[in-house]
Every structure is written in structure tokens, then in C-alpha cells.
């Protein structure tokens, strides 16, 4: 079964055995499938692209959430754009005293994730600290008057409804919603096979924020090597947060992680030369 359409990264496909289809429906917005695979457990795909799997989601969601939260050091609230599987929300809920708003365009993703992959959200959807809004994230950030310490853009790739979440207009609206010292992190695909997307996000974010970079993590179910999370903030000190400070925050928070450590956090910002060159070449 084909899991990647030509639009995502042409010429490369990840082949996964579909042992059992648990759900398949083309909603008004997206073609959603949940199936079982012997290596990855339950897998959710949208428009043919793997979104999340039970077995490796922890890598993606821990790095998406704990890196900006521990770098910031005093996150009181966070906005998730997309993230309907609930994985980012679950990681945020590990932090005491945090209020979270999740804005996803497709209610079905939330409902099916709750039903078929409940370990990913781990009860986050029932947590009173989480406010769920069903809306286009692009419109939401344009119209809201609220400010957030961290914005996590946990979107699909830049095709279909997720495309607007990679535009300069969207990033500018996010910037307007960040509190002082706030951080936006984005899902930026796998540089080896999505170089153009990495570069265009970099250029767009760079025109708006004083500190823009990427950090990496290898997610086994995303084809092509390490994936890149975009990082943008106007506080130029946060990306280089000292190890001691990160460690103190991590120990004090007392959260349970399987991938994230303060050392991994720091190392993830060390970009291999070929990726640095993608960002600087004309
Ligand atoms: N880990 C995933 C990946 O591989 O790209 C991303 C997470 S998935 C849960 C992405 C979510 O973004 C989906 O729930 C989808 O409905 C949502 N989404 C797509 N476009 C959106 C938009 N314009 N506004 C809000 N949510 C959107």
C-alpha cells in the first residue's frame, strides 16, 4: 500500500505492512487511515503520509514539547496548532501549572486518536487544563488576542489543509501571539528529502525573528533520516541555554521521558554540515 503521495517527497516511499485496517475514511478535509503494523503498532496516516505511530511517537512529541518548554524555563501557557493525535498535549500536561489550547481543523483526527490510539494522548483530552478548538489554525492566530509562551505547530506537511501553516503570513500572526521571550517550534519534515521546505521555512521565519534555527531527531517512521523541528524566537539566549540550567529544570519538573534528556536537547541543535549548507546556500 502506498503511504506517501508524490507531493511529499517524490521518488521515496516508506513501505509498511498494513496488517489490519482499523479505520479508513475520506473526510471533507483529509483521507484518514488507522492500521496495524507489527513494528510500529497502530499507525495513523493522513492523505497517505504517516502522521504518528504508537511505537515511535514519543521521540517526536517529547522533542517537540520539552525542548521549547525547558529552554523557556517559565511556560505558563502553550498553543498547539494541529496536533489532533493528542501527543503534544500529553507531553505538555506533564508540566505543572500549564494551560494549553489545541487548535485542530479536523475533529475526526481527535476522535479517532482517542478511540484507536489512546496511549498517544494519554488522557490529555480529558484534562481540564486543555482547551480544544476546532478551527483552521491560520484563522485562529489571526483573530485571537491571547498571548502564549510557546506555540507548537504540529501540522501535516505543506500540502492540503496544512499548507497555510507554512506561510509567512501565518508565522507573522504567530509572532504577534507570542509573549515576550516566547518560542515557536514547527514540524519541518526530513531535510534530506524535503530540502526546499526546510529552506523556505527558514527564510520566512528569519524575516520575522532574531533567532531562527532547527533541531533534529530521528523518527523511525519518517523516511529519509533525521527530521527537523523549526525554532524561532526573539530571545537570542534561549537556544544556547546552559546544560546546568536545563538539567535543573528537568530534575525539578520530575517528568518521565524516554527520549528527551537535557544533553539530547543541547546536541539536537548541532546541525550536520550538509544541513547548515542547505540554510546558507544561495
Ligand atoms: N506528526 C505529524 C506529521 O507527521 O506531520 C503531524 C501531526 S498530525 C496530528 C497533524 C494535524 O494537523 C492533523 O490533526 C490535522 O488535522 C491538523 N491540521 C492540518 N491543517 C491544519 C490547519 N490548517 N489548522 C489546524 N490544524 C490543521
Cα 171 to Cα 212: distance, rounded to the nearest angstrom: 12
Cβ–ligand 1 contact at 130 (below 6 Å): no
CB atoms within 10 A of CB 117: 22
Fill in the DSSP letter of residue 208.
T
Residue 183 Cα to ligand 1 middle (Å): 19
CA 128 from chain center: how many Å?
22
Asked if 234 and 220 touch (Cβ cutoff 8 Å), the reply is no
Residue 245 Cα to ligand 1 middle (Å): 32
- Is 30 assigned to a binding site? yes
Measured over the CA atoms of residue 176, residue 146, residue 140 and residue 187, the dihedral's sign is positive
Q: In this predicted structure, what is the pLDDT of residue 1?
A: 42
Q: In this predicted structure, what is the pLDDT of residue 17?
A: 87
Cα 275 to Cα 201: distance, rounded to the nearest angstrom: 14
Cα 23 to Cα 35: distance, rounded to the nearest angstrom: 7
Mapped onto helix, strand or coil, the DSSP state of residue 179 is strand
Q: What is the pLDDT of residues 101-121, one digit of tens each?
A: 999 999 989 999 999 999 999
Mapped onto helix, strand or coil, the DSSP state of residue 44 is strand
- The stretches in the chain having pLDDT less than 70 are 1-9
Q: In this predicted structure, what is the pLDDT of residue 13?
A: 73
Residue 77 to residues 80, 101, 238, 266, Cα–Cα distance (Å): 10, 8, 17, 23
Asked if 215 and 67 touch (Cβ cutoff 8 Å), the reply is yes
Which residues fall within 8 angstroms of residue 3, CB to CB, at 6 or more apart? 13, 14, 15, 16, 45, 48, 49, 50
- Is 95 assigned to a binding site? no
Q: In this predicted structure, what is the pLDDT of residue 8?
A: 64
Mutating to test ligand 1, I would choose from 84, 174, 197, 218 the residue with most ligand atoms within 8 A of its C-beta, which is: 84
Give catalytic status of residue 154 as yes or no: yes
Q: Which of 185, 112, 187 is nearest to 155 (CA)?
A: 187
Q: In this predicted structure, what is the pLDDT of residue 46?
A: 83
Residue 119 Cα to ligand 1 middle (Å): 18
Print burial letters for 131-142: b (CB count within 10 Å at least 16), e (below 16). Answer: ebeeebbbebbe
Cβ–ligand 1 contact at 155 (below 6 Å): yes
Q: In this predicted structure, what is the pLDDT of residue 229?
A: 98
Complex ipTM: 0.96
Residue 206 Cα to ligand 1 middle (Å): 23
Q: In this predicted structure, what is the pLDDT of residue 48?
A: 80
Ligand 1 atom with minimal separation from the 106 CA: 16
Cβ–ligand 1 contact at 106 (below 6 Å): yes
* Tally: H helices and E strands in the chain: 10, 11
Cβ–ligand 1 contact at 48 (below 6 Å): no
Q: What is the pLDDT of residues 131-159, one digit of tens each?
A: 999 999 999 999 999 999 999 999 988 87
Cα 278 to Cα 282: distance, rounded to the nearest angstrom: 9
Amino acid at each position: 500500500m502506498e503511504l506517501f503521495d508524490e507531493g511529499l517527497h517524490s521518488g521515496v516511499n516508506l513501505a509498511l505492512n498494513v496488517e489490519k485496517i482499523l479505520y479508513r475514511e475520506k473526510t471533507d478535509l483529509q483521507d484518514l487511515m488507522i492500521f496495524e503494523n507489527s513494528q510500529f503498532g497502530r499507525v495513523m496516516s493522513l492523505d497517505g503520509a504517516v502522521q504518528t505511530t504508537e511505537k515511535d511517537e514519543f521521540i517526536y512529541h517529547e522533542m517537540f514539547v520539552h525542548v521549547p518548554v525547558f529552554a523557556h524555563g517559565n511556560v505558563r501557557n502553550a498553543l498547539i496548532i494541529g496536533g489532533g493525535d493528542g501527543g503534544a498535549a500529553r507531553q505538555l500536561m506533564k508540566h505543572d501549572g500549564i494551560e494549553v489550547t489545541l487548535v485542530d481543523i479536523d475533529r475526526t483526527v481527535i476522535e479517532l486518536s482517542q478511540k484507536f490510539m489512546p496511549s498517544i494522548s494519554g488522557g490529555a483530552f480529558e484534562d481540564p487544563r486543555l482547551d480544544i478548538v476546532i478551527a483552521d489554525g491560520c484563522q485562529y492566530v489571526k483573530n485571537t488576542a491571547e498571548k502564549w509562551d510557546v506555540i507548537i505547530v504540529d501540522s501535516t506537511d505543506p500540502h492540503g489543509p496544512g499548507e497555510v501553516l507554512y506561510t509567512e503570513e501565518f508565522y507573522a500572526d504567530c509572532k504577534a501571539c507570542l509573549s515576550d521571550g516566547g518560542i515557536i517550534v514547527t514540524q519541518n519534515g526530513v531535510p534530506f528529502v524535503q530540502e526546499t521546505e526546510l529552506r523556505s521555512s527558514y527564510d520566512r521565519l528569519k524575516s520575522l525573528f532574531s533567532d531562527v534555527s532547527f533541531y533534529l531527531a530521528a523518527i523511525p517512521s519518517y523516511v529519509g533520516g533525521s527530521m527537523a523541528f523549526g525554532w524561532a524566537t526573539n530571545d537570542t539566549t534561549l537556544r544556547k541555554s546552559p546544560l546546568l540550567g536545563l538539567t535543573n529544570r528537568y530534575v525539578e519538573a520530575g517528568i518521565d521521558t524516554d527520549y528527551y534528556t537535557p544533553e539530547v536537547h543541547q546536541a539536537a541543535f548541532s546541525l550536520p554540515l550538509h544541513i547548515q549548507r542547505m540554510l546558507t546556500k544561495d
